[in-house]
A and B are shown apart, each in its own frame.
Chain A
Amino acid sequence: MSRTIEPSSNTPLDSVESIVAGFRERDYVCDRSLATAVFLALRLDRPLLLEGEAGVGKTELAKVLAASLGTRLIRLQCYEGLDVNAAVYEWNYPRQMLEIRLLEARGQADRANAHDIFGPDFLIRRPLLQALEADPDGEPPVLLIDEIDRADEEFEAYLLEILSDFQVTVPEIGTIKAARPPRVILTSNRTREVHDALKRRCLYHWIDYPTAQKEFEIVLARVPDAPEQLAREVVAFVHRLREADLTKVPGIAETLDWAAALLSLGSRELTGEVVDETLGVVLKYEEDIRRIRGDTARSYLQEAGATA
C-alpha cells in the first residue's frame, strides 16, 4: 500500500501506481482502471484488447508502454485481406531466383540443395514473426495489432492460433517459438464485434473519454506551450461538443490538434470567430460543422466559459 513511487527514467512497471507514474512521465495520462488492466496483462502474460472511440489514445498506449519498458514496438496494421504473407513471413522469391542463377553461373548448381535457398537469409520477416524472434535475453517487444476489427475473420482465426501458442511453423524451416512471448496490445474501433474466441484470450479494457480535469492535464502534457487558460477553454468546449448530437464526436486527438492549431495561430483565448475559423480541426463532418458554427458555438462558448 505504502510503496513509494520513484519516478526514474526507467521505472519498472511492477505495480499499478508505477504504471500510472511511468506513463505520466511519457506524457500519457491514464486512470487507475486502465493502468490496472495494463498491469494485469503484463503480469498474467495475456494480450490486452483495447476498445474505444477513435482518438482516445489506444495506439498511443502501446507506444508509451514500449517506451516505458525500454523495448521495441512492433506494429501490425490490420486491413481487410491481410494474410499470412503480409503478417507473418514470406519467401524472398526474386532473391532466390537470383541465387539459383548465380549458382548456375558459377557452375555450382548441382552441388546446391534446397537448404541453400530456403534458409533464414531468404525469409522476409513480417511483424508477427519479428515479434516472436526477438532477442531471448532482452525484454520482450511490445506487439501492437492495430485496428483488428478491420481485418477479416480469416485473419482473426489465424491470430488466435498465434496468440495462444506464440509460435509459427514455416514448413521449409520448422517451428519458430518465442523464447519469451511478446507483450501484445490489440486495438479495435468496433466497426465490427471482435470474435468471442479471440476476446476470451485477452484482457479487455474500454477506454472512455476522459474527464475534463484529466483531459486538461493531457493537453498541458502534450501541448506544453499552450497557456492554461486556452487549454481549459478548449477542453470545456470539446466536452460540451461531446454532449451535443453530432455525427462524429471529437476525440482526445482532436482536442490536442485543436489546441496546437490555436497555439500556432497565436490565439490566447477562444472567441466566437476563432472557433468558427478552426472548427474543421475538431469536427470532421460537414453537417456537424454547419450545425455548430455560429450561434451554437457562441452559446457553447458561454457555457464553457462558465465551467472553465
Chain B
Amino acid sequence: MANRRDPNDPAIVRAPWGPEVDGRRLLAESVGFGRALRAAGLATDLGASVDFARALTLVDMGQRDTVRAAGEAVFVRRRDDREVYDRVFNRWWRRRGRKRPAGDGPAVPTDDVSAAEAEDGLGSPGGDEGTLGDDTNRIDGIPMAIESDEDADGEIDGIIAAPTAYSSSELLRHRDFDRMTAAELRDAERLVDLLEPRLELRRTRRYELHHHGRLLAPRTMLRRNMATGGQFTEWIWRRHTKRPRRIVVLCDISGSMERHSRLLLRFVQALSAASSVKTESFVFGTRLTRVTRLLRDRDRDRALARVADTVNDWAGGTRIGESFQDFNRHWARRTLRTSGVVIVVSDGWDRGDPALVATETARLRRNCHRLVWLNPLAGTPGYEPLAGGMRAALPYVDDFVPAGTVASLERLGEILAGIRSSDVRRGGDAAASADAGERQSSQAIRSIAPPAPLDVASDPVAARPLSPRGSTR
C-alpha cells in the first residue's frame, strides 16, 4: 500500500496524527459518506464533504468520537438531523473500519481483518466476534478503529430513517387521495385568492420612508439636508413596515373528520403554496405530524399524496389534548413567536381527557395572536358544541367558524383580515372565565352568531383614525 504513494504527489496529505494519507481516497471516502447521509435524508452538499475531508486531516482519524464529532460539525445543520447522522455514521464507521493493533497509534493499516470488540469502544481489541470480510479491502488510506456490531451487515447506501414508531393500540390507516378534479382545484384556489390579499398585517420593527408616516426620519433628513449646510429644508417621514402574520394550521384528520379532510387539506395546501404568507401546517389524529415541507411542493397532487404517505393515523381516533400538547411543547415557540394566527380545523370530537384539552388550548391561546377554530359541524342548523373536546376548548377560542363547505370557509377571510380584531378575546379573560366556572355554552354560542356583513372596503390599516399627533404637521 505504502509504495503506491508518491511522496511528491500533492494529493498526499500528512495528518498531524499519523503517517500521510492519500487525499484522493480521503476525499472519495468523504464524498461517499456525504452521499450516504444525503440518501438518508440530510441536506448536505459537496462542499460539506470537502470540508469533512479537510477536517479529517486535522483531527485524529483513528478516534471514533473525534471523527464522529468532526462529521457532525460539518454535515449536521439542524438538531433533528443528529439522530440520522449518528445512525449513518455508525454504519459508515463499521464498514470503513479496520483493525487497529492494541496499544498502537491509530494509523497502522493492516490487511486482513477479523476483528471485533466490545460496545462502543474506541478500537480496544476485545474478543473475536464479527468478521468484516471483503469490506476490508476497500480502503487503505484511512486507518480507522473497528467496531463490530450485531447488525454490521447493513447496507450503507440503503439506510433510510427507521419507520416511524408504531403502536398497535392506535388505529393506523392509510389513505389515498384521488387526483383533484378541476372543480376542486378551482375551489381551493378561489378560496386562497380570496384570502391572500386580506390577511391581517403585523407591524414589524423595520421602517420605510413614507410621506404619510408619522415619525421623523432624522438619519435621512440629516443626510438629505447636508447640501444646505444643515438647514432643514425638507421634512422626511417614516413609518413601520407591515407584513402578513404567520399562519399555523392544525388540521384534524381523524375518522369523524373524514368527509371534510379532503377539502380542508386542499385548502391548507393552497394556503401553503401562496408565497406571500408564511404558513406552517400540521395534521393530527392520535398524533401530531408536521406537513409544512410536504405541502410546499408545487405539484399539488404529489404534495397531497406525500402527506397521505407520511401520515399514518388517517381516520383513526382523535387526541386533541395530546396533539396540542405536542405542538405547544415542540413547535409553538419556533413557528408562532406569539404573533402568528393559529387555525385549528376540527369537529372537537375527542377521545382524551377534556381537562387536558382545556389546559393545552389555553396554552396555545397564550402563544398566539389569534386562535381560530374551524368546525365543519358548526354550519348545521341547531348545532351546539357538545362534543367533549369542543366544549373544553371553546372558552379559549377567539373565533369559532363553521367550515363545512367552501362557501362557509370564505368567512375565514374576513376573520383573518382582522376586521373583527376589536373583539379579540385574550386568553387571560378566557382563562378567568373558565376558572370561575363560567364555561357555559351560552357564552360560547355567541361566537357562532351569523357572520357580520362582509365589508370589503374596510381595510383595517386605512380605517385607523388619525391620531392627534398626525395632524400637527
Footprint of B on A, CB under 8 Å?
1, 15-16, 32-34, 36-37, 39-41, 43-44, 46, 48, 51, 79-81, 83, 85, 90-91, 93-94, 96-97, 100-101, 104, 109, 117, 152, 154, 190-193, 196, 199-200, 203-206, 247
Contact = CB atoms under 8 A, between A and B. Distances in A.
Given A36-B59, A44-B55, A191-B334, 7 more contacts: A37-B72, A41-B73, A44-B51, A93-B219, A152-B205, A190-B333, A200-B45
Interface in B185-235: 204-207, 218-219, 222-223, 226, 229-230
Contacts of B68: 33
B154 interface: no
B464 interface: no
A33 B79 CA distance: 14
A40 B16 CA distance: 14
26 contacts: A1-B60, A32-B65, A36-B66, A36-B70, A40-B59, A40-B70, A41-B73, A44-B58, A46-B51, A83-B206, A85-B219, A93-B218, A96-B226, A97-B222, A100-B229, A100-B230, A104-B229, A190-B334, A191-B334, A192-B334, A199-B77, A200-B45, A200-B47, A204-B76, A204-B78, A206-B76
B54 A44 contact: yes
A80 B76 contact: no
A191 B219 CA distance: 31
Contacts of A79: 205
Contacts of A101: 229-230
Nearest to B44: A200
Interface in B28-45: 43, 45
B106 interface: yes
Nearest to A42: B58
B346 to A, nearest CB: 23
B219 A80 contact: no
A87 to B, nearest CB: 13
B396 to A, nearest CB: 15
Interface residues of B, number: 45
B74 interface: yes
Closest 6 CB pairs of A and B: A81-B205, A93-B222, A33-B69, A36-B69, A37-B73, A97-B230
B126 interface: no
Contacts of A154: 206
A199 B204 CA distance: 25
A191 B335 CA distance: 7
B177 interface: no
B428 interface: no
Contacts of A97: 222, 226, 229-230
Nearest to B333: A191
B206 A193 contact: no
Given A36-B59, A36-B66, A36-B70, A200 B77 contact: yes
A1 B108 CA distance: 13
A32 to B, nearest CB: 6
Contacts of A192: 334-335, 337
B55 A40 contact: yes
Contacts of B76: 204, 206
B106 A100 contact: no
Contacts of B51: 44, 46, 203
A165 B48 CA distance: 18
A122 B219 CA distance: 14
A196 B43 contact: yes
B223 A1 contact: no
Contacts of A40: 55, 58-59, 70, 73-74
Contacts of B205: 79-81, 152
B82 interface: yes
A39 B56 CA distance: 12
A91 B204 CA distance: 25
A204 to B, nearest CB: 5
B105 interface: yes
Contacts of B77: 196, 199-200, 204
Interface in B323-368: 329, 333-335, 337, 363
A34 to B, nearest CB: 8
A152 B58 contact: no
B74 A203 contact: yes
Contacts of A205: 72-73
Nearest to A35: B69
Contacts of B59: 16, 36, 39-40
Contact of B69 (A32, A41, A46, A191): A32
Nearest to A80: B205
Nearest to B339: A80
Contacts of A90: 219
Interface centre among A40, A81, A247 (most CB of B within 10 A): A40
A1 B104 CA distance: 10
A93 B65 CA distance: 55
Contacts of B48: 200
Contacts of B204: 80-81, 152
Nearest to B107: A1
A34 B65 CA distance: 11
Contacts of A200: 45, 47-48, 77
A39 B47 contact: no
A41 B59 CA distance: 12
Interface in B225-251: 226, 229-230
Nearest to B60: A1
A90 B223 CA distance: 11
Contacts of B229: 97, 100-101, 104, 109
B341 to A, nearest CB: 16
A41 B218 CA distance: 41
Nearest to B335: A192
B31 to A, nearest CB: 17
Nearest to A49: B77
Contacts of B55: 40, 43-44
A159 B106 CA distance: 40
Contacts of B207: 81
Nearest to A34: B69
Nearest to A249: B329
Given A16-B66, A32-B69, A94 B337 contact: no
Contacts of A85: 219
Contacts of A100: 226, 229-230
B191 to A, nearest CB: 27
B219 A36 contact: no
Given A44-B54, A93-B219, A33 B206 contact: no
A101 B229 CA distance: 7
A16 B45 CA distance: 26
A251 B194 CA distance: 46
Nearest to A206: B79
A85 B238 CA distance: 16
A191 B337 contact: yes
B58 A39 contact: yes
